Amino acid sequence: MRKFKSFLFLSFILFSVALSAQKGNPKSTGEYKLVVEGFDWGPAVNKVILSLDDTTSKINGNDFTVLVTRKSKDVEIPADQASGQRNIVTAYISDDHANRVSTGKYITLVLAVGPNLSVGSPFQYSWTKGNLWVDYQFNITKNNSLEVWNKSTGKIMPLVDQFNLNGKFTYNGKLTMSYASYAPSNQKDKAPLIIWLHGGGEGGFDPTTALLGNKAANYASEAIQSVFDGAYVLVPQSPTFWMQNSEGSYTTGKVNDVYNEALMALIKDYVKANPTIDASRIYVGGCSNGGYMSLKLILLHPEYFAAAYISSLAYSAEYITDEEIQKIKNIPIWFVHSKDDETTKPNETVVPVYNRLISAGAKNVHFSFYDHVIDITNIYGGKSFEYPGHWSWVYLHENLPRQDFNGSSVKVNGKPVTIMEWMAAQKTSPKK
């Protein structure tokens, strides 16, 4: 009996030591993959995919603790945005691309995101450098077993991953520009081309920032592609900002910028290289900086574009001559702006431009003028949540504008349409 009691006591001691070791040390180190998607306020890491050693069919998100760190060598990150805990919305069994399966060797954790959740963003904004990717690292623990996932195997970017991100164009042997491009998979014959010109914070040589900085990747979404029955999408990227003048500062139209010639050459080169583009249906648009450049291109090349869609116009109306208004009055244009935009003030930009076009006899120029830019989902920011007034592209990328300046519906052939439906109907004479 004494020997048996000694055996039990020794077994208890060994079990306690093993349990203590398990609590103090992770059972294993695992791999994870980020999922980055574009939202109205910009990109966010909204999912993380965990790799398992064995197949499983059950999962509970409450079993995990998710910690993140955000680092950068190129931009300072405020201390309250450098690290934190991510809240788990739900969890499910998946494959390695976050697709749901009944049993598998991967777990996808869906994470809470929102415009005020800075630790959820893989970007950090700098006034001097714009939007930059950060080194985004997870440390994920399964609470009951202390299994840890802290080795990144990369990231998935839905929609963005459908673009060719390797586009390069050199103009006159001196100026090189990057661009992203998308080719429709369902085109039957020739397809239109949608050109998007980014805002001031998305310049550089990584076109993913131009696609994610304000959700421009959405032009490859099924919702918008279906409007055009398939469309090419071209997203050029300025090395700095579209409104740069020869002295390195901003122009709002008083003097010339340094990029419009190279940009137009890039567009024509891309169209030439893709003969299934319908040259009579080339559409150009952009926001803020890109809104400036969109208007600049149609002022210089009024015969080339079938329509323009412009948000947060940054071109000062005072620098547009009456002769130029006459040149573009017959070009279909749809402006989108917010009344409380303090960056590109509407009474100095879009309002007088629109009024002058209408006074000149424009028949197919429209203007959706919002009071504020709100969270259109009522979820991420919350009910009645307002974004900065400059962000009117939130409505544009989701194809929401329908009303004209006087509040009436914009119509094509008597039918009320959205901005993308209107644009898809516009056509010009074929290019030579």
Residue-wise pLDDT for 401-432, tens only, equals: 999 999 999 999 999 999 999 999 999 965 54
Residue 416: DSSP 8-state: E
CA distance linking residue 289 with residue 347, whole number of Å:
17
Q: Examine the fold and report which residue of 110, 141, 156 is the final residue of a domain before the chain moves on.
A: 156
Residue 12 forms part of a structural domain: no
For 4-45, give the DSSP string.
HHHHHHHHHHHHHHHHHHHHHS-S-EEEEEEEEEEETTEEEE
CATH assignment at residue 78: 2.60.40.2180
Residue 144 forms part of a structural domain: yes
Bridge partners (DSSP) of residue 35 are 47, 156
CA distance linking residue 149 with residue 158, whole number of Å:
23
Residue 223 forms part of a structural domain: yes
pLDDT in tens, 76-110: 999 999 999 999 999 999 999 999 999 999 999 99
Domain residues for the domain of 384 are 160-424
Residue 106 forms part of a structural domain: yes
- Is the dihedral angle over the CA atoms 306, 425, 416, 376 positive or is it negative? negative
Percentage of the chain exceeding pLDDT 70: 93
Q: Examine the fold and report which residue of 156, 188, 207 is the final residue of a domain before the chain moves on.
A: 156
The answer to whether 258 and 244 are in contact (CB under 8 A) is yes
pLDDT in tens, 39-88: 999 999 999 999 999 999 999 999 999 999 999 999 999 999 999 999 99
Tell me phi and psi for residue 331, to 5 degrees. -85, 125
pLDDT in tens, 126-176: 988 899 999 999 999 999 888 999 999 999 999 999 999 999 999 999 999
The answer to whether 351 and 358 are in contact (CB under 8 A) is no
Residue 274 forms part of a structural domain: yes
Q: Examine the fold and report which residue of 101, 127, 156 is the final residue of a domain before the chain moves on.
A: 156
Whether 125 and 165 map to the same domain: the answer is: no
Residue 413 forms part of a structural domain: yes
CA distance linking residue 405 with residue 353, whole number of Å:
13
Please give the model's pTM, rounded to 2 decimal places.
Answer: 0.92
Domain count of the chain? 2
Q: Is the pLDDT of residue 27 over 70?
A: no
Q: What is the CA radius of gyration of the chain?
A: 26
Q: Are strands 307-311 and 277-287 parallel, antiparallel or unpaired?
A: parallel
CA distance linking residue 68 with residue 34, whole number of Å:
12
Output the pLDDT for position 127: 87
Confidence class for position 25, pLDDT limits 50, 70, 90: low
Collect all residues with Cβ–Cβ distance below 8 Å to 431 and sequence separation of at least 6.
271, 279, 280, 282, 304
pLDDT, mean of residues 237-249: 97
Torsion of CA 249, 251, 254, 257, to 10 degrees: 90
Output the pLDDT for position 4: 38
Q: Is the pLDDT of residue 17 over 60?
A: no
Whether 146 and 165 map to the same domain: the answer is: no
